[in-house]
Amino acid sequence: MAIFEVDKLSLHYLTRFGQKIHAVTDVSFTMEQGEILGIAGESGCGKSTLVNGLMGLFIPPLYPTSGDVRVGGESLMNRSPEDVRANILSRKVSMIPQGAFNALNPTRKVKDIAADVMAAHIKGVDKKQIYERLKERFDLFGMDTNKVLNSHPIQLTAGERQRSVIGISTLLNPQMVIADEPTSALDVTTQKVVIKMIFDLLEKGIFSTMIFITHELPLLRHVANNIAIMYAGEIVEKGTAEQVVFDPRHPYTKALMGAMLSAEPGQKQRKPTAIEGAPPNLANPITGCRFAERCPQAKPECKQNKQEIRIVGDRQVRCDYAE
């Protein structure tokens, strides 16, 4: 049974001039227990907006347009932010935020921040018990537990901070973890340490299902089972990691792979090519294919015909001409 279902989810922002910006349009996917779904795409394509939607956390100016998100069969839509915070976050769906430094209160010690999370969700435990459980949990992370728990965020290195944030996010064994670019602010060495820790947690069964959001496709190939590529609020391609990375079908995925670069010997001549132009303005209604303006293979009718998801070579592609 699918643990996480997203059904035609559309989200929009309402600006103060009454204008609607359709940041996420018609996103559907299901996830099985134990699946790691990678979502990639350039900045501004709606990845982070989608995360808020997937948690059911709608803080103005973000509003749901239509669609449904279900965790274990239970809908997350139409709830107040208070209800979401009390009943859904940390337990059902938990998010690992992007910047660890902004996620931690600089005036409090890590153990107090973590204790708050537990105290808010588990009734009737005293502080001593909480600290003991925290210590047990943080021992799994391969850090100096006492030092980390008793430090203020500023005293920790970036890697320790990010690992603490992951630890706090997964304290209550959530069914679903959404990692929103957890490593994009780290250097390559620390990034590897953090990814290792996430794999450790998966192995130990702290959580099993994860959505991993990043713009580094090479990283996703190592982390995710399945990859979905987003462009201008839509999923344009979804398949297994191998399919998407090594055999992309949608023109945008192909262009995205062309923009990657590598340090492989003798590859200096292989220049990364940027995709010309900019994504469409999502405030205006878009009739045809959203990538048509920048697509090298665009045909005249692409600008009129709305592209629908179809199955090409075992994966979903939103392009009429992909083969």
Partner 1 sequence: MQNDILFEAQNSVCTFGHGKKLVKAVDDVSFNIKDGEIVSLVGGSGCGKSVLAKMMLGLHHPTSGTFTYKGAPITDYNVHWREVQAVFQDPFSCFNQFFTIRSQLKAAFGIYKEKPSNSEMEERVDQALLAVNVKPSELEGKYPFELSGGQMQRMLLARIFVLKPKVLIADEPTSMVDACVRANILDYLMKLKQELSMTIVFITHDIGLAYYVSDRLFIMHKGKIVEQGAPDDVTLRPKSEHTIQLLEDIPEIHKEWIKR
Residues that bind partner 1 (CB under 8 A): 41-44, 157-158, 184-192, 195-196, 199, 202-203, 215-219, 221-222, 245-246, 255-256, 259-265, 268, 271-275
| Closest CB to partner 1 among residues 203, 323 | 203
| Closest CB to partner 1 among residues 76, 232 | 232
Assign 165 to helix, strand or coil.
Answer: helix
| Closest CB to partner 1 among residues 246, 304 | 246
Residue at token pair 């592209």? 307
Residues 40 and 99 sit within 8 Å (Cβ to Cβ): no
| Closest CB to partner 1 among residues 149, 186 | 186
Report the C-alpha gap between 38 and 238 in whole angstroms. Answer: 9
- How far lies 27's CA from each of 47, 69, 109, in Å? 11, 10, 39
Instruction: Please choose, from the candidates 216, 248, 249, 251, the residue with its C-alpha nearest in 3D space to the C-alpha of residue 231.
Output: 251
| Closest CB to partner 1 among residues 29, 231 | 231
DSSP state of 89: B
Query: Least distance in Å: CB of 49 to partner 1?
Result: 13
DSSP codes of every residue in 55-84: TT---TTEEEEEEEEEETTEE--S--HHHH
Query: Least distance in Å: CB of 90 to partner 1?
Result: 25
DSSP state of 15: -
Query: Least distance in Å: CB of 279 to partner 1?
Result: 9
Report the C-alpha gap between 228 and 240 in whole angstroms. Answer: 9
Query: Least distance in Å: CB of 159 to partner 1?
Result: 8
Where residue 239 falls (left for φ over 0; alpha for ψ -120 to 50; beta otherwise) is beta
Query: Least distance in Å: CB of 275 to partner 1?
Result: 5
| Closest CB to partner 1 among residues 62, 119 | 62
Burial of residue 100 (CB within 10 Å: 0-12, 13-18, 19+) is buried
Residues 170 and 182 sit within 8 Å (Cβ to Cβ): no
Query: Least distance in Å: CB of 208 to partner 1?
Result: 13
Query: Least distance in Å: CB of 188 to partner 1?
Result: 4
Assign 37 to helix, strand or coil.
Answer: strand
| Closest CB to partner 1 among residues 2, 195 | 195
Query: Least distance in Å: CB of 240 to partner 1?
Result: 14
| Closest CB to partner 1 among residues 56, 97 | 97
Instruction: Please choose, from the candidates 222, 215, 286, 224, the residue with its C-alpha nearest in 3D space to the C-alpha of residue 253.
Output: 215
